Structure 1
């Protein structure tokens, strides 16, 4: 059968057009969507998802995975039955996590960093007892910065703290333990304390002597 030369060229052109080749950018070409138009070409139009399918997607197991913050809180949990030293080792940190805990940890650090963990716990509970008593400011920072209460306070600030030190990390841990009520107060509801080396002559009920401090309520 005779095939014309023109037909042969048309067949070759059709076969070539069906193959995949990289697109070439032509600055003069018309845009896919005309400028100023919000119309979406039918080829990429959004397809509505049935309500039951959307519900299944939202309730998929992946959507209920705990967030990073939730995991961080879980990692910060102290195992039931852990000793005070174990709890301190787990909660020790250079960062208190909030301004209130910063104030509480600061008071523990400056008033009792040379004390045992139990002695530091006692000082921390005195701050917490004051905040809950109704007789003092109702926040840790309010208690710590109340005028003429703590000698380490200078106006509205504390001296610099070496945050990489073991003493500071322990103070942060004790502050968290007090705030979360993970350990009972070793000095009950004491609201006052002083160093054993002084005798202020307070007319208060003496509660306990622990380390280098005497506690009263």
Structure 2
């Protein structure tokens, strides 16, 4: 076998291995699947309210011009969402609302209290930054907008009331 043919065979085998392993080439997910993954791995799976809030943040990022212009591009960004969000297995039996919630957000539903928020973190965590304006706590997360520090009027996440989401 000549060197040129060997190189082509090796490249073909490497590309096939990548496709079969689910990395890069050929592993395209739909916007629906990517939204489901963000909601599944980032929200309290029993809280539709939390799922819609996560989905609203994803859509705010897509529409902002500061992030990728697709749901999959936003969700797959390194260090932005849960580790392994695009690769880990989901068990939709534990989150039967995920599929419907993702479809609803992709069709235009937004959480009414999210506004322009593009960020969230696990509720209960505190950070020393002075530019976090909190808008909502739901589904195990605290959602916030980044603002200039003198425009922050809610520097501490609001406390959720059992069964009710507050601003």
TM more than 0.5: yes
Distance 1:193 1:159 in 2: 21
> How many residue pairs are counted as aligned between the two chains?
116
Give the RMSD, CA atoms, in angstroms: 2.0
Partner SS for 1:109: helix
Q: Does the alignment pair 1:127 with 2:30? A: no
Give the alignment's TM-score, normalised by structure 1: 0.49
Displacement, 1:193? 0.4
Higher-strand-fraction structure: 2
**Consecutive unaligned residues in structure 1, runs of 5 or more:** 1-97
**Consecutive unaligned residues in structure 2, runs of 5 or more:** 1-28, 146-167
Displacement, 1:184? 4.5
Residue number in structure 2 paired with 1:208: 136
Displacement, 1:209? 2.0
Q: 1:143 to 1:118 in 2, by over 3 A?
A: same
> 1:115 touches 1:212 (CA, 8 Å); kept in 2?
no
Displacement, 1:174? 0.7
Displacement, 1:205? 2.1
Displacement, 1:151? 2.5
Partner SS for 2:84: coil
> 1:113 touches 1:171 (CA, 8 Å); kept in 2?
no
Give the alignment's TM-score, normalised by structure 2: 0.62
Partner SS for 1:175: helix
After the TM superposition, list the runs of 4 or more consecutive aligned residues in structure 1 that deviate by more than 3 angstroms: 182-186
Larger CA Rg, structure 1 vs 2? 1
